[in-house]
Structure 1
């Protein structure tokens, strides 16, 4: 445990040190402005500091995982960069279009500001999936992530516009010598042109041809997930060269039996003494049934001291005073029995997270004794219980997150179709990333290159990946759909709205995704497998979402659906207008989507 914690802390610190300079360099390239590039980092730092403060307050009322700080850094930096990118870019666009500083800020907040508000809600909803796993470290990580997202949105809507109002046009500052050497950076294209617009139009001219292979690819990538096997991590979480790992491997190799697993069975009599004649006989029979189980090497208990002693012998001996018992039996009672219970130690040569060891635990728990209960504990039982706990809570967590997200997206778009499309495409990208995780870390592909031992997936990894990926994917979805909706309401043309929306936001989404992939891969450089798997899994998921989903699937689906994208039953459309959560810009007369 000490080696694991030290290695884990070293991994996380190294990843965080790598993330900031990588982020700054990529922001400078995206914005072609040093000042504009520094703003997202500034918001990110403020969000992280605020998130840490909020989590410290939370720690006064409940237990908080030591790794909650790392989720704050990871998520805080990600969402702060996303939100700042869109606010700053919209502000620069409005200034370039001739708007005054005040008008540029007002328009930026009414459009991009509205988008990041809804985006923050969807990201927080995704992270809240971890709150369903109370009693584990996941719950505090979910709470910490939700806090930092709320703070990032707050600073994006307050601090950032205030700084932009002071900077004005100086936000575009770029050294003259760099402008001369890199004239293509920061160049603004005329609306309706550029690679993103051309790509969107190309996809929408052949939506079925693009959509079917894209979905097939994601489905194929997700198939390894069907073979998922979850288990708690052990020494294999450490890299092969780690001193603690080498010491353990040497011990197992040179001293056979050191890797044996002990499963503890507890026979509990709530209203009686375990040493009555009937109870001793029942325990004797139970011990023999345990010994007959597959892969059991030995059973140790108060009725397994002398192979030559029979059931009747043990009943007779334990019926007398304990002080008159032979010394071995007195010692066995001291260590293996109490007023209402006795303990049986079952030894197997199978690894404690193996299917064979789990089968023994299940067999123990399936046993019954008169007047008592048979319980199982130990590493294998704990491993099995954690996996079962995760599996039992997952359907409720996933369903709740999807339902709440659907409602939030309806409030954003006024459509009942787009939220469904968003959820389904999101699940496709998540399944593909989960498939890649199993393909790499469980099945062992690339294990030599990435320097790890193939192993079962820690049960916390799918929960963390789902929560973060669902939130971040919805983040990109909201930012893209908000711009598409704005253009659609302005023109009334669904196809033009999709093309222009992708043109205006595609570069930013891809830029943000590239930054996040670089940051996540910094975590993927960790030595501990659980951090490596989370980092690489997140990078794969974001890469899939920002390319296959946003560039290919979203335009093709929206082209096929046409005006139906914006449809809602008349009562819901009226409710949406009454709530007033929709786009504040005036709609084109052709952009009628309320029940028609």
Structure 2
């Protein structure tokens, strides 16, 4: 069938290019304005207990909300008449801003000590905002500049989740443009180095442009039905460019190889589409199925990567298999015009096809040397990867906060000021909503409040009956107690002595949830630590299903591709080794701060964002399967001709080693550019994926694969009779 496809592409090459041009224009039009339809947030589980608590607090106790925190500092003490007048006026102004549910400040809340810095120089205004995370971020964009314009000489700093989301959104958009500006010239130079000719170097960029624009149009269409994260744009751009380079390089390398073997342009397109094109299509399917696994998670941050990633993978593959051959049919031998650097050359003489004598190139000799001592080389790499993976045993999960931004950012400085100069109430308050205990039963809360106050790491508990500490009532109900009751719901404010976004914070949430609630009542524990706990728990619950999708689809597809039972298992084991090493490096650098100067010295909090390892797993696993399929396609092609396992491995590495290495360098360069981002989340994802690609393309493909296949010998290609017959009927074979 693919022979007919290649023949059709040659005959209709001009028509294919016209259709591609129209598609490009339609995709560009369909993607216009997509950046304005993407939303903030998506890191938490919307069905979790913490999310329910947040909704109840926003709806019934808005005065307790702290979506946006304004720090006001003047030239006088916060208790001075001047500051009192101005602080009160600014609080009232903020309260009447659209999107603000309630505004509370030091000057309107009976001068609560928790809203005043210990030195008396800074007072707080806390705002509860309406809407979802994206709405709250947009409200913060309006409120903060307005307050600053009317602050009459006061210094106004902004903190809180809404301000973090707002600043992250701005920096993400800025960093995307910066990364593209840096990546473009680097990528162009690397493409010229790899492809040699200026004409050939531009072809992957054409395919990348097509895939990115199509994926943007898809995201724009989906944004009208489901929330799409702002981060998906970054992934779409980098993944689209990387995969377009991968697939284009493989197609171009095969086309050039056929031309240099003496084939005409039409003759060269046949094996290019039949063999390289099939491999690209198969590789894209494995990547897409790896990304499908992200759809099992409740966080739309992860789901957004699946939407954008699947779209860009399939469009990159379609461009490489359909559009690129049409371009090659038009260009023919002119694809090598305008040589700038020494080309990545294949065999110069005409060969007799795949069954020709082995070539003694550098990669062939390297593979042969590895296979002479497979235990030594393979064992050494396994030990190295195990050492790199060992820090992952110390992983501590969290979610991004202000410290995901540079220490110089305004919201980071404001939040650090809260940590340094305010009591723990300012950042360490955990809201606990009790439903079923209304105003008429408020005294029934006392035993529960006492029990909460006796939990380790709890400083005090404020409830309608009074204030509690260490299991004792230390103060009776004050004037603010009435605001803690609404209908059949009551709010308790638990002040902790530990950082919310930390392991200690999540342990505290677990202990609070273990306290028996009042009879007939339902309790919802909220706050940042609860959100972290619930999000990591949701990820943990969904991870087995995600791994099952990735592993199961890879096993099936690799069996259909190779007809072997051992090959898919080998691929899974080796991919797991390289990914474990990547995760260990991420913990070592980003969580613990070692060698962080290599990636711009990002702030480290002692935790790793819970969403990144699973996202890295799905994306990097798919990319590593790309290289696995590229290598196995040539090994199997040779093995079917010779039946010599060892020679086939060396032959396969000789014909793909340079291609895989070049592709990995290009993809890693595109991804590593995100190390310049000021948002640690993007930096972590880009650097993590770049490292995974480099480890896989070098240590795994060049050393572990030859070592393993040499030790396994003919067992590499074994399958039981029923499976072998199944593969004969439905298998995807390179020799077909």
* Structure 2 length-normalised TM: 0.73
Bigger drift between 417-426 and 245-254 goes to 245-254
Deviation for aligned residue 1:3: 2.2
* Alignment check: 8 A CA contact 2:179 2:676 kept: yes
**Structure with the largest fraction of strand:** 2
Q: Is 1:239 matched up with 2:401?
A: no
1:521 to 655, 672, 677: 672
Instruction: Report 1:95-174 matches (<5 A).
Output: 95-174=259-338
1:94 pairs, out of 258, 262, 270, with 258
Change in 2 beyond 3 A, CA 1:502/1:253: same
Q: What is aligned with 1:452?
A: 602
Find the counterpart in structure 2 of residue 365 from structure 1: 513
SS, match of residue 176 in structure 2: helix
Summarize the Cα distance change of 1:183–1:29 in structure 2 as closer, same or farther, 3 Å threshold.
closer
Partner of 1:288: 450
1:498 lines up with 2:660 in the alignment: no
**Alpha-carbon shift at residue 255 of structure 1 (Å):** 4.1
Of residues 575, 583, 596, the one that matches 1:434 is 583
The CA distance in 2 between the partners of 1:290 and 1:210, in whole Å, is: 58
Greater alpha carbon shift after TM alignment, 257-266 vs 412-421: 257-266
1:391 aligns with 540
Report the secondary structure of 1:118's partner residue.
helix
Cα pair 1:125 1:401 within 8 Å, conserved: yes
Structure 1 segment 218-297 matched on structure 2, within 5 A: 218-257=385-424, 259-269=426-436, 274-276=438-440, 279-297=441-459
Instruction: State how far apart, in whole Å, the 1-side matches of 2:704 and 2:540 are.
Output: 30
Q: Deviations over 1:534-554 (max 9, x none)?
A: 111111111110111000000
Q: Which residue of 1 aligns with 2:464?
A: 302
- In structure 2, distance between residues paired with 1:186 and 1:482: 20
The answer (yes or no) to whether the contact 1:259–1:351 under 8 Å persists in 2 is no
Q: CA deviation at 1:64?
A: 1.7
Does the CA contact (< 8 Å) of 1:260 and 1:350 recur in 2?
no
Whole-angstrom distance in 1 between the partners of 2:467 and 2:548: 53
- Residues 365 and 185 of structure 1: is their aligned pair in 2 closer, same or farther, counting only changes over 3 Å? closer
Kindly state the Cα deviation for residue 363 of structure 1 after the two structures are TM-superposed: 2.3
Shift of 1:5: 2.0
Q: Distance in 2 between matches of 1:531 and 1:478?
A: 28
Match of 1:158, SS?
Answer: helix
**1:135 and 1:248, CA in 2 relative to 1: closer, same or farther beyond 3 A?**
closer
Matched, 1:10 2:174: yes
1:481 aligned residue? 632
2:726 maps to 1:575: yes
Question: Does the 8 Å contact 2:194/2:343 carry over to 1?
Answer: no
1:467 matched to 2:618? yes
Distance 2:486 2:535 in 1: 28
Query: For this pair of structures, how many residues does the alignment match?
Result: 558
Q: In the aligned structure 2, how far is the partner of 1:232 from the partner of 1:510?
A: 34
Partners of 1:260 and 1:349 within 8 A in 2: no
Q: Residue deviations 1:366-401, cap 9 Å, x none?
A: 223211122211222111111111111111111221
Kept in 2: contact 1:415–1:565 (CA 8 A): yes
Q: Which secondary structure state, in structure 2, belongs to the residue aligned with residue 353 of structure 1?
A: coil
- Asked if 1:35 is matched to 2:160, the reply is no
Once residues 260 and 243 of structure 1 are traced to their aligned partners in structure 2, the CA distance between those partners, rounded to angstroms, is 17
- Partner Cα distance (1:249, 1:361) in 2: 23
Corresponding residue of 1:592: none
1:318-357 map, 5 Å = 328=478, 331-333=480-482, 335-357=483-505
State the shift of 1:516 in Å: 1.2
Greater displacement, 388-397 / 244-253: 244-253
Judging changes above 3 Å, is the alpha-carbon distance between structure 1 residues 287 and 582 closer, same or farther for their aligned structure 2 residues?
same
What residue in structure 1 maps to residue 559 of structure 2?
410
* Pairwise CA distance, 1:258: 6.7
Q: Assess, with a 3 A threshold, how the Cα gap between structure 1 residues 197 and 464 changes in structure 2: closer, same or farther.
A: same
Q: Which residue of 2 aligns with 1:549?
A: 700
Using the alignment, how far apart are the partners of 1:258 and 1:245 within structure 2?
A: 18
1:187, distance to aligned residue in structure 2 (A):
6.8
Structure 1 SS opposite 2:456: coil
Contact 1:430–1:466, Cα closer than 8 Å, also in 2: yes
How many Å separate the matches in 1 of 2:467 and 2:580?
53
**8 A contact 2:446–2:465 mirrored in 1:** yes
For residues 670 and 682 of structure 2, the distance between their equivalents in structure 1, rounded to whole angstroms, comes to 13
Task: Judge which range, 343-352 or 237-246, deviates more.
Answer: 237-246
Counterpart secondary structure, 1:120: helix
Moved more, 129-138 or 100-109: 129-138
Which of 368, 375, 383 aligns to 2:524? It is 375
Distance of 1:578 and 1:447 partners within structure 2: 53
Return the match for 2:684 from 508, 518, 533.
533
Q: 1:242 to 1:156 in 2, by over 3 A?
A: same
C-alpha displacement at 1:113, in angstroms?
0.6
- Pairwise CA RMSD: 2.1
Aligned partners of 2:204 and 2:245 also within 8 Å? yes
Q: Is the CA contact (8 Å cut-off) linking 2:460 and 2:467 kept in structure 1?
A: no
SS in 1 for 2:564: coil
Which structure has more relative contact order (CA 8 Å, sep 6+)? It is 1
List per-residue Cα deviations over 1:202-222 (Å, max 9, x = no partner): 111111111111111111111
Please state whether the residue corresponding to 2:459 is helix, strand or coil: strand
CA contact (8 A) 1:50 1:151 kept: yes
Task: Provide structure 1 residue ranges, at least 5 long, that are not aligned to the other structure.
Answer: 315-325, 586-596
Measured in 2, the distance between the counterparts of 1:567 and 1:183 equals 41
Instruction: Please report how far the alpha carbon of residue 443 of structure 1 lies from its aligned counterpart in structure 2 after TM superposition.
Output: 1.2
Q: Find the aligned partners of 2:621 and 2:574 in 1 and give their Cα distance.
A: 10
Distance 1:459 1:198, change over 3 A: same
Provide the secondary structure at the position in 1 that maps to 2:649: helix
User: CA–CA distance in 2 between the matches of 1:17 and 1:448?
Assistant: 22
**1:400 aligned partner:** 549
**Distance (whole Å) between structure 2 residues aligned to residue 463 and residue 174 of structure 1:** 43
Q: Cα distance, 1:348 vs. partner?
A: 1.5
Question: What's the offset of the Cα at 1:152?
Answer: 0.9
Say whether the 8 Å CA contact 1:520–1:536 is kept in structure 2.
yes
Aligned 8 A contact 1:252 1:258 in 2: no
More moved, 570-579 vs 239-248: 239-248
Distance 1:183 1:381 in 2: 58
**1:358·1:384 contact (CA, 8 Å) conserved in 2?**
yes
Instruction: Output the CA distance in 1 between the equivalents of 2:406 and 2:418.
Output: 17
Check conservation: 1:364, 1:375, Cα contact below 8 A. no
Q: Residue 498 of structure 2 contacts residue 505 of structure 2 at CA under 8 Å; is this kept in 1? A: yes
